[in-house]
Structure formats: structure tokens, C-alpha cells
Amino acid sequence: MVTFDFDVTRSKCIDYILYLLAQHEPFTQRLEELRQTYSSLITCHSWMEINVLKSIGDPPPSLRQDCAQAKEYYESLVALVKEYGLNPDWAIERINYGILYPNALVIGAVDSIEVEPRQYTITWNTRSFLTRKQIKEDILRQFKEQWSDYEQTMREAGFIRTRKRGALEDHMRWVFRRVCLKQSWNQIAKEEHANVDTIRHSVEPIIKLLGLQPPKLRGGRPRK
């Protein structure tokens, strides 16, 4: 059974689902519509300024138009995030960035720990061991400790092992189909040529990790 590897960072999963959305034409069309409708707002104001403008209850005359546009724009982002089952805590700002910079949603989904030459410092005192076997065991122990420290550092930086990338891509594609496209478990399994239980056991932990909102129906017609 293929299961989700919790060593993969939350940010990496977010990057992947945004990457998949950036290749989904109905979603990118919606972004383009928002980009054209609110071009003046998003080019003249930062995300922080937009948040301030939408929160002003009784704006002065000079800011009324900007405040009204900011509220409409933010409400449009909220509706889009909800429609695709995303978590507004991280999705609204990231999608705004994707509207402002069209290529931003496809960056960051493919980083991995590259295989590169590394030097390891191994020390031992021949007087401390009685046999060559003991020396080899101590050398291996030191190497494993140093590699473990390096791997942990890379994971915290948002990288994943190259050999695990393929599984993550499969899992995130299943998440995308379940949450964003509203497809049933059976449909995903049929089209992905995978076992339903395998898909569910891989997808459900990621949905929980990212705070996504999957469809409540068990079946039904998928989103086009």
C-alpha cells in the first residue's frame, strides 16, 4: 500500500496543488478575468494595502472607489477559493500573487534533495576498539548521524527526496481531482488505475494537513 509520507512538508503540498490548478484551464480563465477586472487595484496596491482598504468601514471620498473595489476583489477571491475547496488561510494570498504574476503558481513544486558530493568527517582512535568490525561499526554510526542531520536540514527547507517525488505527484494529483474537481473516489480510482483504498489512505491525510474542503457527496458529476 502506498501511503502519504509526513516528512514531506506542508508547503511542498501547497505548491503542488497550486501547480495543478495553474494548468487547469477553467481556473486560469477565472484568474485572467480577475486580473482584467481589477488590474488598476492590484497593480497600484500591495496585498497588505488591499486588506486595509477592504476593512475601512466609512472611507473618505478619495478612497471610496478603491475601498469598494478592494472589497469586491477580496470577496471574489474568497468565492474562488471556496469553489475549489482550498484553505483560505493560505490560498487567498497565494492566488492573489498568482493573479499579479501569472507564472507564480507553477514555481516551487519540483525542488528535491539533489545527489551531490559531500564530505564527512569521521574520527576514531584505534586504541578504543579491539577489532576491525568495531571500527567499521563506529564509522557507519558517525556517517548515519551526519547524514541524518543534513537530511533534516533539507526537509525543513522544503525539499523532498528525489525518489519520493513520483509518489507525491501521484498523491497530489489525486487530491486535486477529489477536492478541486469534485470527483468521486471510484472515478479517480478508475481513471488513475489505482485501488480506491490506496487513494483514500493517501489523499485523506493530505486534505487534513492542508485544511482543504473536500466534497461531501460520495458520487455525482465531476466538475468540467
Are 4 and 170 spatial neighbours (Cβ–Cβ below 8 Å)? Answer: no
What pLDDT was estimated at residue 7?
A: 41
Of 7-21, 30-44, 50-64, least confident by mean pLDDT is: 7-21
Q: What is the mean pLDDT of residues 20-40?
A: 95
Contact between 80 and 30 (Cβ < 8 Å): yes
pLDDT at 133: 82
pTM, to two decimals: 0.70
Task: State the pLDDT at residue 12.
Answer: 82
Query: Which residues face 113 on adjacent strands?
Result: 161
Q: Is the pLDDT of residue 146 over 90?
A: no
CB 175 within 8 A of CB 20: no
> Could you say which DSSP state residue 8 is in?
S
CB 92 within 8 A of CB 82: no
> Rounded to an integer, what distance in angstroms lies between the CA atom of residue 215 and that of residue 79?
15
Can you tell me the distance from the alpha carbon of 55 to that of 69, in angstroms, rounded to the nearest whole number?
12
